Amino acid sequence: MEKLHINLDEKSYDIFIERGVFEEAGKYISEVYKKKKIVVVTDTNVDKLYGDQLLKTLEMSGYTPVKVVFEAGEENKNFETLTEVYEKIIDSEIKRGDLLIAFGGGVVGDLAGFAASTIYRGIDFIQIPTTLLAQVDSSVGGKVAVDTRRGKNLVGSFYQPKMVIIDPDLLKTLDEREIRSGMAEVIKYGAIYDNEFFEYLLGKEGLKDSMVDIEKIIKKCCEIKAKIVEIDELDMGIRMILNFGHTLGHAIEKYYDYTKYTHGEAISIGMYEITRLGEKLGITNAGESKKIKEILTKYGLPIEDRVEIKDLIEIMKTDKKNISGILNFIFLSEIGKVDIKKVAEEEIANKLLK
Ligand X SMILES: NC(=O)c1ccc[n+]([C@@H]2O[C@H](COP(=O)([O-])OP(=O)(O)OC[C@H]3O[C@@H](n4cnc5c(N)ncnc54)[C@H](O)[C@@H]3O)[C@@H](O)[C@H]2O)c1
Q: What minimum distance in Å lies between the beta carbon of 314 and ligand X?
A: 20
The answer to whether 225 contacts ligand X (rule: CB under 6 A) is no
List the one residue from 18, 98, 178, 305 that touches ligand X (CB under 6 A).
Answer: 178
Looking at 26-34, 78-86, 167-175, 275-283, which segment touches ligand X (CB under 6 A)? 167-175
- State in angstroms the smallest separation of the CB of 50 from ligand X: 7
- Report if residue 138 touches ligand X, rule: CB under 6 A: yes
Give the count of residues interacting with ligand X (CB under 6 A). Answer: 30
- Shortest approach of ligand X to residue 206 CB, angstroms? 20
- Of 108, 191, 192, 343, which one interacts with ligand X (CB under 6 A)? 108
Kindly state the smallest distance separating residue 180's Cβ from ligand X, in Å: 11
Q: Which stretch binds ligand X (CB under 6 A): 56-64, 174-182, 208-216, 329-337?
A: 174-182
The one among 15, 72, 221, 271 contacting ligand X by CB under 6 A: 72
Q: Taking the alpha carbons of 17, 18, 20, 25 in that order, is the dihedral positive or negative?
A: negative
**Choices 27-35, 94-102, 173-181, 187-195 (CB under 6 A): range interacting with ligand X:** 173-181
Is 266 a binding residue for ligand X by CB under 6 A? The answer is: no
Residue 263 near residue 181, CB atoms below 8 Å: yes
**Phi (first) and psi of residue 326, to 5 degrees:** -110, 125
**224 scored as a contact of ligand X (CB under 6 A):** no
CB of residue 278 to ligand X, shortest distance in Å: 22
Residue of minimal CB distance from ligand X? 106
Does 74 interact with ligand X (rule: CB under 6 A)? yes
**Window of 15-23, 98-106, 161-169, 339-347 that interacts with ligand X by CB under 6 A:** 98-106
Residue 181 CA to residue 328 CA, distance in Å, equals 24
43 or 288: whose CB is closer to ligand X? 43
* CB of residue 270 to ligand X, shortest distance in Å: 13
The reply on whether position 265 binds ligand X by CB under 6 A is no
CA angle 73, 246, 238 (to 5 degrees): 125
- Candidate list 8, 32, 49, 353; residue touching ligand X; CB under 6 A: 49
Q: 9-15: which pairs have CB atoms within 8 A and are 24 or more residues apart?
A: 11/142, 11/160, 11/233, 13/160, 13/161, 13/162, 13/163, 13/164, 14/163, 14/164, 15/140, 15/163, 15/164, 15/166, 15/222, 15/226
User: Does 43 interact with ligand X (rule: CB under 6 A)?
Assistant: yes
Closer to ligand X by CB, 262 or 289: give it.
262
Stretch that binds ligand X, among 58-66, 93-101, 107-115, 193-201 (CB under 6 A): 107-115
Our CB check for ligand X shows the closer of 249 and 284 to be 249
Between 26 and 142, whose beta carbon lies closer to ligand X? 142
As beta bridge partners, residue 163 has 14
Q: Say if residues 170 and 218 touch (Cβ distance below 8 Å).
A: no
Asked if 104 is part of the footprint of ligand X (rule: CB under 6 A), the reply reads: yes
Contact positions vs ligand X (CB under 6 A)? 43, 45-46, 49, 72, 74, 77, 104-108, 110, 130-131, 133-134, 137-138, 141, 143, 152-153, 170-171, 173-174, 178, 181, 263
